[in-house]
Amino acid sequence: MRLSQPQEELEINMTPMIDIVFQLLTFFTMISTMNRIEREANLSLPEVSAAIVDEMAAARFIVNIEKDGTIKLMGLPATKRMLAYQLQVRKGILEQTARTTGSAPIVIRADQDCTYKHVKEVLEIIRETKFPKILFATWIPKEETAGRR
């Protein structure tokens, strides 16, 4: 007959789970802050007479193009190579956003005085990463929106 050995109590180490929770919390806090910064960039957007209000703006990747052609991501100047890298890194998340919302995961906010050459360069980078849909941000003057309410 064999003698049974005393069973050790199993302990669950919560440290890795707490680390992941804090990392997720930090990630989502930074993303929401960056989206706010992107939407508040000081650009003169092209004016339109009618537009659709984007309800999913917080879930989109925003590319700002200033009038001199400077690309800004998350409020900081970026090169074309940095834009391509950021699109590659976020490709899975952006594709998931596109599937979930049925809409474009990327928004281009180009200053109205920016030449098309700069916008075209950004469009080519986006095309190379195989994103079929994008949105262009525009602005409706307040006097036009006030008359429609």
Q: Specify the pLDDT at position 34.
A: 61
Sign of the CA dihedral running 145, 112, 61, 135: positive
Q: Model pTM greater than 0.75?
A: no
Stated as kind and residue range, the H or E segment containing 73 is strand 71-73
Per-residue pLDDT in tens (0 to 9) along the chain, 149 residues = 566 666 777 788 888 889 888 888 887 777 666 655 555 556 665 565 555 555 555 667 889 999 899 999 888 899 999 999 999 988 888 888 888 877 788 888 888 888 889 999 999 999 888 887 888 877 666 665 444 43
Q: By C-alpha distance, which of 45, 64, 51 is closest to 112?
A: 45
Residue with tokens 């307040």: 142
Name 137's Cβ contacts closer than 8 Å, sequence gap at least 6: 45, 54, 62, 107, 108, 109, 110
